[in-house]
């Protein structure tokens, strides 16, 4: 974050056609063992991606009290194995549905972003109609038109998931996260789809963690809720 902040601050303040004068040669004292530097911002993170482990240690700002239903208490806590014996952190209320891509087109939207969103929506419909290969071809165009359209990457991830290409799906989700990770609804969707991919790859622990992260961000996330319920059903012993 701090790296991003000073990066933005580092944007050139003067136009390119007035270049800086060349530095006059100066004699400098012998270099100390550790070079001097001006007061620098916070240490740069090596990898500033948000990962499940980053969220594991954080608690949300204000959470409703934990539910006392059997389902809620049987859900694993964030980052812990699905023991089902400890109460889960309180889930925030579901977020408003922000899934409409066309609703994101406003008068201020650039033509490229608008076109990219419309095309993403078309790709989504093709995907929902059950043709992920055709959807993929369409969705690849969305990022050509506007490579900052994170929703395009999300649906590319979904198309790859439906085609059974889980590693590729996870790659696209990483990119989507860097583009639209500031939007809780969509970040929740990203986590949920991540969970689906991990589950398909047999990485159940990571899947469960992802689902839980999705639920923490948006308790109304159906994909995560259903998946967790399914997993719970699979791990519980059969009753007579």
Partner 1 sequence: MIKSKLRIFSLSLVALLVITSSGLVFGAWYLKQLEDKVTEKFEGRKWVFPSKIYSDSYFLYVGANLRIQDLADKLHRLGYFESQSAPKAKGEFRIAAKEGRVDIYLHDFDSPSEKFKGIPIRITLQSGAIAKIENSADGTELLYVELEPELITGLYERIWQERKVVKLAEVPPLVVKTILAVEDERFYSHYGVDPIGVLRAMWVNLRSLSFQQGGSTLTQQLVKNFFLTDERTMSRKIPEAVMALIAERKYSKQVILENYLNEIYLGQRGSQGIFGVWEAAQFYFSKPLTELTVGETALLAGLIRAPNRVSPYRSAEAATRRRNVVLAKLLDDRIITRQQYDAALGEKLPQRSIVKVTNEGPFYVDYLRRELEENYSNAVLTKEGLRIFSSLDLQLQRTAERALVEGLKKLEETHPALRHKGDEDGLEGAIVVLRPQTGEIKAMVGGRNYGRSQFNRVFQAKRQPGSVFKPFVYLAALMYGGQSGTKYSPDTVINDSQFTWSYDGQEWQPHNYNDEYFGAVTFRRALENSLNSATSRVAQDVGIKRVRDLAHRLGIQSSLPAVPALALGAAEVTPLEVAVAYATLANNGVRPRPLAIKQVVDQNTKVLEKRDVRLEQVISPQLAYAMNQLLKGVLDRGTGVGARRLGFTRPAAGKTGTTNDYKDAWFVGYTPDLLAVVWVGFDGPKKIGLSGAEAALPIWTEFMKNATASMPVTDFVGPAIPPDSDDGKCGPSVRDGETADPCAPTVTPAKASAGT
Footprint (CB under 8 A) of partner 1, residues 157-196: 160, 168, 171-172, 174-175, 177-184, 187
- Closest separation in Å from C-beta 21 to partner 1: 7
Smaller CB separation from partner 1, 99 or 236: 99
CA separation for the pair 75, 86 (Å, rounded): 8
The count of residues in the chain is: 240
Least Å distance, CB 127 to partner 1, is: 13
Q: Counting Cβ atoms within 10 Å, is residue 189 exposed (0-12), middle (13-18) or buried (19+)?
A: buried
Residue 52 C-beta: closest distance to partner 1, Å? 12
- Is residue 130 at the binding interface for partner 1, with CB under 8 A as the rule? no
CB of 123 to partner 1, least distance (A): 11
96 binds partner 1, rule: CB under 8 A: no
How far the first Cα of the chain sits from its last, in Å, is 53
Q: Does 102 bind partner 1 (CB under 8 A)?
A: no
Supply the minimum distance, in Å, between the C-beta of residue 17 and partner 1.
Answer: 7
**Cα 103 to the center of its chain, rounded Å:** 21
Number of shown-chain residues binding partner 1 (CB under 8 A): 83
Smallest gap from residue 10 Cβ to partner 1 (A): 5
**Phi and psi, residue 203, nearest 5°:** -95, 80
Is residue 100 part of the contact set for partner 1 (CB under 8 A)?
no
Task: Determine the Cα–Cα distance for residues 69 and 76; give it in Å rounded to an integer.
Answer: 13
**Would you give the DSSP letter of residue 105?**
-
Backbone angles phi, psi at 166, to 5 degrees: -75, -35
Give the C-alpha separation, 13 to 20, whole Å.
11
Q: Residue 217 interacts with partner 1 (CB under 8 A)?
A: yes
Binding pattern for the stretch 132-151 against partner 1, x by CB under 8 A and - elsewhere: -xx-xx--xx-xxx-xx-x-
Q: Rounded distance, CA 1 to CA 49, Å? A: 10
SS3 74: helix
Tell which positions 35-94 bind partner 1, by CB under 8 A: 35-38, 40-50, 55, 58, 60
Judged by CB under 8 A, the residue of 73, 77, 112, 232 near partner 1 is 112
């Amino acid at each position: 974050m701090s790296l991003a902040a000073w990066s933005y601050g580092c944007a050139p303040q003067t136009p390119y056609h007035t270049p800086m004068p060349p530095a006059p040669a100066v004699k400098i004292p012998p270099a100390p063992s550790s070079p001097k530097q001006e007061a620098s911002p916070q240490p740069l993170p090596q990898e500033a991606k948000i990962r499940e482990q980053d969220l594991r240690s954080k608690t949300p700002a204000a959470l409703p009290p934990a539910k006392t239903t059997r389902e809620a208490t049987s859900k694993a806590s964030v980052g812990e194995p699905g023991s089902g014996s400890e109460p889960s952190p309180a889930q925030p209320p579901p977020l408003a549905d922000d899934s409409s891509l066309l609703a994101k087109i406003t008068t201020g939207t650039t033509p490229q972003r608008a076109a990219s969103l419309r095309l993403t929506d078309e790709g989504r419909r093709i995907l929902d109609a059950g043709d992920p290969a055709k959807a993929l071809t369409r969705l690849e165009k969305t990022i050509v038109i506007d490579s900052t359209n994170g929703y395009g990457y999300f649906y590319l991830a979904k198309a790859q998931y439906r085609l059974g290409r889980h590693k590729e799906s996870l790659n696209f989700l990483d990119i989507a996260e860097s583009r639209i990770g500031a939007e809780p609804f969509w970040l929740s969707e990203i986590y949920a789809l991540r969970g689906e991919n991990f589950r398909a790859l047999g990485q159940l622990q990571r899947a469960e963690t992802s689902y839980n992260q999705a639920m923490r961000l948006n308790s109304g996330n159906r994909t995560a809720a259903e998946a967790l319920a399914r997993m719970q059903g699979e791990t519980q012993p059969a009753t007579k």
